Amino acid sequence: MKRVSITARNNWQAAVEQLGFGFHTDDVPYWKEDAYYQLSSAEIAELEKATKELWRMCLIAVQHVIDHKLYPLFSIPEQAIKYIEHSWEADEPSIYGRFDLGYNGSEIKLFEFNADTPTSLFEAGIVQWFWLQDYEKSADQFNLIHEQLIAYWKHLQPYLHDGPLHFACIKGSLEDLTTVEYLRDCAIQAGLDTRLIFMDDIGWDDASGTFVDMEDQTIRNIFKLYPWEWMVEEPFFEKLLLKTDIRWIEPAWKMILSNKAILPILWELFPESPYLLEAYTEAENTLTNYVRKPILSREGANIQIIRNGYVEAQTKGEYGAEGFICQAHFDVPKYTGKTAVIGSWVIGQEAAGIGIRESSGVITENTSNFIPHLIKN
């Protein structure tokens, strides 16, 4: 794996905007194409293998948490437990997830699993693919995201209830709306009847005892880009407990995997795995060089890197009230001064492709850049 500096396309902003990518630049650039990451087919094969194995282990870990009632480690409220267990026992389907991986050229290590509301899907599935067609069409890319999304929506159609599939996110987030509309477009291409609604606009009809959209149509299937840990704190969650027949995607059991408390569980279950880093709850931590992470946080907030008792790097934020885990530090090589983290996608139970984000510092944050990749031996 190496980072290759290049010249960005002329008027690249217009090119990505034509795809519907409107958040390529905020206060700082998010999408950058003055470089790309080059990987070999052998490296891609190893990443694919690691992703498949990590997904297998994660499913075993969910069953372990449920069997041993380990919910307090996750700060999961009592009222959510039955709902989680119902969704697991009913085998409610998941469509996607993103493993964030560190790679040093020989070892692949799991940093965390964005299992419930992962973003950067549109960038990975569409934007970097069209960049490749313009830059080096003869090259390849580990990117089956679009095809597998359409195929899996088709696969899920028999598991959905009668009626349309609603797609929801919060108002005011262009990134979330873009991701949701992309997933919705894939569902439309798969032949599904869809509706867009904002989470803020979902209503409850007392007469029928159902959630409804803005046209008072009953919601029976819904994809939501909205974290379960937020949903359980909403006033409507008690209504949701009455409606276990709604098909939520992602399902409630993803509340377990989207929580960093799953990392010590995975380490406990699979200490011999080459893809895991040693990890513990903060109370049980014996590591001296480690990363301290809130069990619930986003965009690299409230993380500390600690070496021999000293804080080497840290980020600010508003997370941490629910507790922290400690994970062994893994050195990722610098590529021309940049630290790269590989986001490896699971779509419909299968490894589907990667997206790479890089930072000038050692912690990936919301100011980190998305950089395209290609495969070349």
Render the burial of 16-27: b for 16+ CB within 10 Å, e for the rest. Answer: beebebebbeee
Q: What is the pLDDT of residue 82?
A: 92
Q: Over its length of 377 residues, how does the chain's per-residue pLDDT go in tens digits? A: 999 999 999 999 999 999 999 888 877 789 999 999 999 999 999 999 999 999 999 999 999 999 999 999 999 999 999 999 999 999 999 999 999 999 998 999 999 999 999 989 999 999 999 999 999 999 999 999 999 999 999 999 999 999 999 999 999 899 999 999 999 999 999 999 999 999 999 999 988 889 999 999 999 999 999 999 999 988 888 888 877 788 999 999 999 999 999 999 999 999 999 999 999 999 999 999 999 999 998 777 888 889 988 998 888 888 878 899 999 999 888 888 889 999 999 999 999 999 999 988 777 766 789 999 999 98
167 within 8 A of 196, measured Cβ to Cβ: yes
Report the C-alpha gap between 28 and 31 in whole angstroms. Answer: 9
Dist CA 321 CA 316 (whole Å): 14
- Looking at residue 252, what is its pLDDT? 95
- Whole-number Å distance between alpha carbons of 144 and 177: 22
What pLDDT is attached to residue 149?
Answer: 98
Q: Are 212 and 218 in contact (CB under 8 A)?
A: yes
- pTM of the shown model: 0.95
Residue 316: per-residue pLDDT: 85
What's the half-sphere exposure (Cβ side, CA atoms, 13 Å) at 29? Answer: 14
**E strands in the chain:** 2-5, 35-39, 96-103, 108-114, 165-169, 194-198, 203-205, 210-212, 221-224, 247-249, 279-281, 289-294, 304-307, 310-314, 324-328, 334-335, 338-347, 350-359, 369-371, 373-375
For tokens 């894939």, what's the residue? Answer: 186
Three-state DSSP class for 158? Answer: helix
Distance (Å, rounded) from C-alpha 238 to C-alpha 264? 31
Instruction: Please report, for residues 23, 54, 374, the alpha-carbon distance to residue 128 in angstroms, rounded to integers and kept in the order given.
Output: 14, 25, 9
Which H or E element spans position 48? helix 41-67
